[in-house]
């Protein structure tokens, strides 16, 4: 936000608030991406006792994850689909090598329990921390009469582990995995799963993701979209734009609360 006046920033926030409230009003279901949106993908590397090397491991791990899904989608004869857990394991090997970390070395820390660094990182990834704003936004969305769902490239088992670890089971009406399409987002067959699973039309869906490429894919499909730009990034250089940009899920929670009040 450097270079923006306070009045300009205030106007932008007001526009975002009005925009997200309008999107909530027109929606029947609010669908969330999982990794980076609800769950902190840096939490595993941060908590694995890697010292100053954890940011490098986290960055390369995530980048390799995403690149692998995109490239597998477009390989000749593809998509060359494998479960996202396989992608996650393969991406970790690249990240460990890039950071100069021996994955077979014993993990350190109070809960390491005699496992290797590789094993510890993968276990932590299964139980990624949810962001602080997640439980509240899901509760407020349901209170506003909106069904809540996850649409993720994540494998079903991975998603189940993360949801249980964050105690979100009763706050989600559906969990939809790309496993059922055997292809990864942003392929339209993954977004198709929302409509077929929940019995809604694209225009009845509000899709929320922290991944700009995912939001643009969902927008091209026909969903209303909110980009939760947690890191204040510039976005990806591909066509399209979200309907609204929010800084966190707090803004969406406030919009849901406002809708619940108007419905009383």
| Per-residue confidence (pLDDT) for residue 10, from 0 to 100 | 64
pLDDT(4) > 60: no
Nearest residue to 122 (alpha-carbon basis) of 157, 151, 98, 152: 157
pTM as predicted:
0.92
| Per-residue confidence (pLDDT) for residue 34, from 0 to 100 | 98
Q: Stretch 51-70: mean pLDDT, rounded?
A: 97
Q: SS3 for 193?
A: helix
* DSSP string of 102-167, one letter each residue: -TTSBP-STT-TT-BHHHHHHHHHHTPPBPTTHHHHHHHHHHTT-EEEEEESS-HHHHHHHHHHTT
Candidates 18, 33, 179, 214; catalytic one = 33
In tens, the pLDDT along 31-48 reads 999 999 999 999 999 999
Q: SS3 for 152?
A: strand
CA 87 – CA 27 distance, rounded (Å)? 33
DSSP secondary structure code for residue 103 in this structure: T
CA 165 – CA 182 distance, rounded (Å)? 26
Cis upstream peptide for 79 (omega within 30°): yes
Is 180 annotated in the active site? Answer: no
Specify burial of residue 4 (Cβ count, 10 A radius: 0-12, 13-18, 19+): exposed
Phi, psi of 31, rounded to the nearest 5 degrees: -110, 130
DSSP secondary structure code for residue 35 in this structure: B
Residue with the two structure tokens 């205030």: 10
In tens, the pLDDT along 98-120 reads 999 999 999 986 565 689 999 99
């Amino acid at each position: 936000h450097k270079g923006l006046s306070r009045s300009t920033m205030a106007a932008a926030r007001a526009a975002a608030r009005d925009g997200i409230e309008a999107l909530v009003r027109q929606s029947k279901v609010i669908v969330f991406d999982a990794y980076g949106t609800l769950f902190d993908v840096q939490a595993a590397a941060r908590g694995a006792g890697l010292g100053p090397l954890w940011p490098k491991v986290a960055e390369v791990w995530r980048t390799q994850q995403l690149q692998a899904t995109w490239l597998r989608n477009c390989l000749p004869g593809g998509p060359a689909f494998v479960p996202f857990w396989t992608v996650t394991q393969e991406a970790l090997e690249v990240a460990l090598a890039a950071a100069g970390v021996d994955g077979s070395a014993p993990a350190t820390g109070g809960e390491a329990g005699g496992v290797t660094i590789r094993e510890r990182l993968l276990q932590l990834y299964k139980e990624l921390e949810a962001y602080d704003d997640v439980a509240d936004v899901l509760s407020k969305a349901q209170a506003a009469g909106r069904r809540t769902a996850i649409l993720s490239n994540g494998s079903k088992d991975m998603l189940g582990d993360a949801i249980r670890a964050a105690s979100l089971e009763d706050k989600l009406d559906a969990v939809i995995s790309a496993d059922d399409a055997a292809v990864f987002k942003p392929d339209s067959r993954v977004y198709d799963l929302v409509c077929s699973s929940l019995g809604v039309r694209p225009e009845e869906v509000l899709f929320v993701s922290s991944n700009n490429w995912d939001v643009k894919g969902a927008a091209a499909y026909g969903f209303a979209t909110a980009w939760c730009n947690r890191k204040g990034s510039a976005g990806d250089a591909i066509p399209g734009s979200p309907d609204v940009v929010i800084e966190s899920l707090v803004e969406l929670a406030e919009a849901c609360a406002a809708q619940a009040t108007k419905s009383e």
